[in-house]
Amino acid sequence: MPSTSPRFFPPAGPILGRYDGPVVRATGIRYARATRFQVPVAESASSTPIDATSPAPACPQVPDTLLGPALGSLFAGLTYDEDCLRLSITLPADWQPGEQLPVLVWVHGGSYVMGAGDMAVYDPAAIVAEQRVVFVAVTYRLGLLGFLGSESGPPPNLGLLDLLEALRWVQRNIAAFGGNPALVTLFGQSAGADAIAHLMIADGAAGLFKRVILHSAPLGLARNRQAMQRAMTAAAGTFAPTASIDEVLARESAVHKAARRFGLKSGMPFGTQYGAYPLPPESQVNEAWQAVAPHVDVLIGATAEETRFFAVLDPKYRRLLRIPLLGSLLTRPLVAISSRLVYLKAAKSFARRHARAGGRAYHFLVLFQPRGSEFGAAHTIDLSLLLGTQASWSFAPILGQEKWEDIDQAGRQMRQLWAAFARTGTLPARVDIPGILRVKQEASRQ
């Protein structure tokens, strides 16, 4: 390994990274700045070296204690700061100047209220080293800071505007890290995938990416949210200019409470707002997705038992499970119906509409069920096949008794397919990896 730190010279200014085994990392790079509740402003070029050796801080967020029984110490080691508009780049250590590798831009999930780009379970070292891609993880504003607003208050969709600024930074600078700005694939899971689906139709997004990979996007919750958003905005109220970040976060519980009466969609109350910049009105979104279809390749799908993740964590579900003989008979259809309503049906419809509008679309279903795990093929299980390391996943109960060597082997096949899609936009018309994954190309309208 070279003794000196790797140096990069993009238009953003000189950047100092670090070697880390088979990859090079340049982390915590500021792509924009934003005053609280204001639109982001692109970061100016630096004339002095930028130290990119520390992880990006997470957006301040309310701690979620419910995820521990599924994902373990998910947030261990994170720092939090409102100055969180940062991105981190990982590239192969043997990258050669002049190479133009495909770029995967990761948009993390977390119901628009939690998470960060540099969480350990999102470590991209395996896919970067194996498949020779450049990976960019973006951290953006969440919750009240990024995804609630109104005409008379803070602008809505600030988190989407953050992501647009990150993509513009990538277009200007990624070539200096071996990435091809003409081969950018947006890649996200859960709320991150939902955000990407909406970036496809966002004003100002044209030309910033060529492909998208959407995992478990809760698109079944995206429509008819206006009444809920008004109730949430009223519950949020206004903040004094001197309000601390703790005061802002404390208001989120009242906002969540105001959303509860709105049924299934209250499961993810924060989110994008149609009709507010940069998104079209809700009545025009289907037409907008159809218009962009010929210009963006799509790979979209979900896990086979998405909502089993949330069900297992729910005490009411666990009480049902304990009913002798009838427990599993009662709970299985609940998981199947809710998974279909929130994730599966919407993913299939998205792929079908995209193909019929002249775009290239593939639909996938993740079947992987770790041995000894009560979660089965649940929400987030696909992430273990694509990102993270044995160390970062070792305390995750969702993996049951599955050996990491077997997870890694299954994941290698999936990582190869995903990287091939990022390079070419094409996959075999049908892929069937028994017990792991199915992929099918959607037929275009003849």
Show the tokens assigned to 150.
């109104």
| Neighbouring C-alpha atoms within 13 Å toward the C-beta of 282 | 9
Show the tokens assigned to 77.
């080691």
The CA distance from 190 to 209, in Å, is 19
Catalytic residue among 379, 392, 402, 442: 379
Q: How far is CA 442 from the centre of its chain?
A: 23
Active site residue 379: yes
Active site residue 190: yes
| Dihedral over Cα of 387, 390, 392, 396: its sign | positive
Residue with tokens 């979620």: 64
| Neighbouring C-alpha atoms within 13 Å toward the C-beta of 396 | 26
Show the tokens assigned to 256.
């969540």
Distances from the Cα of 359 to the Cα of 297, 353, 446, angstroms: 6, 9, 12
Active site residue 5: no
Catalytic residue among 88, 111, 190, 338: 190
Judge contact between 209 and 296, C-beta under 8 A: yes
For residues 157, 160, 166, 171, the Cα torsion angle rounded to the nearest 10 degrees is -120
The CA distance from 341 to 296, in Å, is 25
Catalytic residue among 165, 305, 306, 442: 306
> Which positions are annotated as active-site residues?
190, 306, 379
